[in-house]
Structure 1
Amino acid sequence: MMTDPIADMLTRIRNGVRIERTSLDMPASNMRRGIAQVLKDEGYIWDFEEIETVPAKTLRLHMKYGPNGERLITKIDRISKPGRRVYRGYKELKPVLGGMGIQILSTPRGIVSDRRARTEKVGGEVLALIY
């Protein structure tokens, strides 16, 4: 039984980047789809697709690497955990590494990056930190 599907997704991405996989598969959910959309919008992955499989749908991420094979994702951490939720207002969201990284938030307006949350002036639960 999986108790934290977001941590599972982040671990799959972390492990896939370490061995330079071109695509990663995982069970699909609305939360994972939202995180994948943020990663695509911010340029960390090429694209994602949902594949019809039995018994449930599968989410496939197409990973992105630099021109010489360098990793775009060097660190990916789960911030808010089931045992300790972390919430931030938009004024508390500071740029990660001077804008070189992102935080992924779950807000009333959906799953967004910290840049978009500051622009829209909305806070929420900090799900992950990526750089």
Structure 2
Amino acid sequence: MQHSIWKMYSTIRNGLLTRKKSVLQPHKAICIDVLKVMYKEGYINGFRKLSGQSDKIEIFFKYNNGNPAITKLSALSKPSCRLYVRVESLWKLNTSLQTLIISTPRGIFSDKECRKLHLGGEILCVLQ
């Protein structure tokens, strides 16, 4: 599970560094869930499953005045050190300039959605 997410983070970072409009990524359900959160929060323009290649998705990047919308993308939780957060701790975190993507028992959500739904979980990554 985590390996495919890390590979996607690396693909996104490399695509943004080379100023590409889009990149291709292997189709995994967990990656789709993370991309949905990125789209809702305004970090990417969208993504789509390629019709000819059923195992690939295309991720479309968002740029603001020539600068990528994602300036920092880092994975926090690792197999050697899982990082979990309780909903009470989410309220104490100052995430006004960044977005946490959290895996909860009810799915993958942003930190803002987790506060609304009163959910805690494993922090997958930080977007800035």
Residue 51 of structure 1 deviates from its aligned partner by: 1.6
- Pick from 78, 82, 88: which aligns with 1:91? 88
Q: Tell me what 1:46 maps to.
A: 45
Q: Deviations over 1:36-89 (max 9, x none)?
A: 0000000000111112455x51111110000x2012111100001122111101
Structure 2: gaps of 5 or more residues: none
Give the secondary-structure state (helix, strand or coil) at the position aligned to 1:4: helix
2:60: which partner in 1? 62
1:104 aligns with 2:101: yes
Quick check: 1:4–1:82 contact (8 Å CA) kept in 2? Answer: no
Cα RMSD after superposing both structures: 1.6
Q: Which runs of 4+ in 1 moved over 6 A?
A: none
Matched, 1:18 2:12: no
Task: Please give the secondary structure, in 2, of the residue aligned with 1:95.
Answer: coil
Match of 2:110 among 94, 113, 124: 113
Question: 1:4 is matched by which residue type in structure 2?
Answer: H
Number of corresponding residues: 126
| TM-score under structure 1 length normalisation | 0.89
Q: 2:123 aligned to 123, 126, 129, which one?
A: 126
State the partner residue of 1:80.
Answer: 77
